[in-house]
A and B are shown apart, each in its own frame.
Chain A
Amino acid sequence: MKKKLLKILPQIVIVLVVAALLVIMAGGNPLRAIKIFFQGTLGNLNGFMEIFVKATPLIFLGLGVSVSFRTGFFNIGAEGQLYMGAVAATATVFALPGLPGAVRIILATLAAFVTGGLWALIPAMLKRKMNISETVTTIMFNYIAIMIVGILVRGPLQDKSGALPQTPFIPDEASLPLLAYPTRLHLGVVLAIAAAILLYILLTKTTVGYELKIVGTSPRAAFCMGLPITRSLVISALLGGGLAGMAGMNEVLGVQHRLLEGISSGNGYTAVLVALLARNHPIGVVIVSVLLAAVQVGANTMQRQMGIPASIVNLLIGFIVVMVLSQDIVKIYREHKKAKELEVNQK
């Protein structure tokens, strides 16, 4: 543990230095920025709870993407799966006006899970049966999902009392209950953490989890062991897409209380990086999501109070990931050198 910390310490220092330089470039004082950052995140209850409100969809999405990645299904479609989950949750809540709120929430969650899962299953099957790369198809499915939401909120599901492309508010009893009024914190965060723990157990303690891992690391080994590759892929897609769909449910029932366009704003793509930084580990996903959400909340405060563009977050996320991706650079450089020496010797 100590060794690990020592290894990432220089990286943290580099990121902080880059962040400070960016703040100076934007005409701000880095020390004041740090103060405001901590005031915005840890200094008041609202800001602190907002971290978890923002982290919740990232946890669901990050879990979904990491399950897919583990099985070698490179799912960049979490964004679309979220949208489809949001559609299913909204439609379920509005379709069953007579039932009690708790029942509607449970049914909406199930509907979101199944719909998100099916939305991921199509690209997975295209990959398995027709050998079409899932990278591009999942991205295309994102756009198709956004199209479906766009049409629904302008057509059958639109709030007829206004001209805006959004559905009416869902009733209070079908919303996820608030946990710490007056902040926005709601039950979603508990569900997300529960999902992470369940997933951890599934992946590490059951045969299904073992199969998913083998299929992901070496499809050939899985084939030779007689493991059902298609079944693993189906499970991974349904589970991964389903978890992303839960994020859609979370946004509709917990945050926005209605379906509207731009309900995700790119979190589905952030999730790919969350999964990478967490090394596809469910508990790691929770930690990384909370940290990223804290950075987002802090940066928003910095934008409001110091006029530093909040786009600094995207820049830093990209920078951090590129840095993490290149941390093996010395090791690989040595390998290359060794390979070259071997070649020279052979000649």
Chain B
Amino acid sequence: MSEILNVGFLTAFLSAAVRMSMPITYAALGETVSEKAGIINVGLEAVMLSGAFFSFAVLYYTGSMILGFLGGILAGVILSSLHAFLAVYLRQDHNVSGVALNFFSLGITSFLFGIMVKKVGSLPQTETLPTIEIPLLSDIPIIGEAFFSCDIITYLCYFMVFAIWFFLKKSTWGLSLISVGENPRAADTVGIRVNKVKYLSAIFNGFMSGLGGAYLAIGQLGVFSENVTSGRGYIALAVVVFGQRNPVFIFLAALFFGAAQALQFRLQALGVNLPSQFFNGLPYLLTVVVLLLSTKKSSEPAALGQPYIRSMR
């Protein structure tokens, strides 16, 4: 086991952890904003998966990575908006709508992908995003390579963590959004357009989660396969709770989930034989334990998942 403690191992491990955490972080950040405004989207997995497939399909047919990302984001925004429409306008149960989304997205992506494969035979691996090293910072041992020798989307993520933190904690708009999730009636009374805020937050969630999925497919893997997100959307939901809906904590929580996955592969490479399910389930188990131990009030917005009907008192 002494191999675990050398610098080379730690560097590779931490790099892998950052890589694995990125798509999850994007989705979890988007979901946080959405939940703060009172919409919980259990269909996060669906949004990511659509982002992944449509980014890959657009990239394959146009050859443009930027268009690919835009395609993935657009797919995410459409699905997330559909969820918001069902939940806000039609006042349906958020969970049911989210689960329906998951089926729909898994179905449509697998179906279209099946047709694509049938038409063109085997699909080539596309080019992934290039690494951009940040001078000086990337020379720091261990941390430098993991955090500052990444691609552009990872750096954008650092910025988003800060931006969303600033938005939620320091800006008036953020305060309005939080008030919509906590007490929509009061927010309405002071002139905030409750449902408009909800829709906007859902669109933002679609943007972030779609981007997360797109990044996974065309930024990191360069391929799409059926159900390529394989539960990352559900992990992101747990990360939101674990990170107590605070962008900085969410970044760390996602890193923790990413680290658990990375550790699994590293240990397997070293020949340590632990069942992979152990590492897949461990972060969830720890999240539950943390929930149980935390004496703090849960960070859940008071009106999460509830419809707001203006004409009802």
Contact = CB atoms under 8 A, between A and B. Distances in A.
B89 to A, nearest CB: 7
Interface stretch (A103-111, A139-147, A193-201, A250-258): A139-147
Contact of A139 (B96, B238, B276, B305): B238
A132 B277 contact: no
A339 B278 contact: no
B99 A76 contact: yes
Contacts of A25: 115
Contacts of B115: 25-27, 309
Nearest to B279: A147
Interface string B106-141: 111011001100100000000000000000000000
Contact of B241 (A136, A149, A155): A136
Nearest to B311: A339
By DSSP majority rule, is chain A's interface helix, strand, loop, or mixed? helix
Contacts of A307: 118
A90 B86 CA distance: 41
Interface residues of B, number: 55
Contact of A272 (B95, B231, B277): B95
Interface string A83-120: 00000000000000000000000000000000000000
A220 to B, nearest CB: 14
Interface of A: 22, 25-27, 74, 76, 126, 130-133, 135-137, 139-141, 143-144, 146-151, 154-155, 165, 261, 269-270, 272-273, 276, 307, 309, 311-319, 321-322, 325-326, 328-329, 332, 335-336, 339, 342
Contact of B104 (A26, A315, A339): A315
A84 B241 CA distance: 24
Contacts of A319: 104
A307 B118 CA distance: 10
4 closest cross-chain pairs (CB), A and B = A147-B281, A318-B104, A150-B277, A315-B107
B100 interface: yes
Contact of A132 (B94, B110, B300): B300
Nearest to A324: B100
B292 A26 contact: no
B183 interface: no
Interface of B: 40, 42, 82, 86, 89-97, 99-108, 110-111, 114-115, 118, 226, 231, 234, 237-238, 240-241, 275-278, 280-282, 284-285, 287-288, 291-292, 297-298, 300, 304-305, 310-311
A167 B206 CA distance: 42
A316 B100 CA distance: 10
Contact of A329 (B90, B94, B292, B300): B90
Contacts of A329: 90
A132 B300 CA distance: 8
Given A131-B298, A273-B103, A314-B103, A140 B275 contact: no
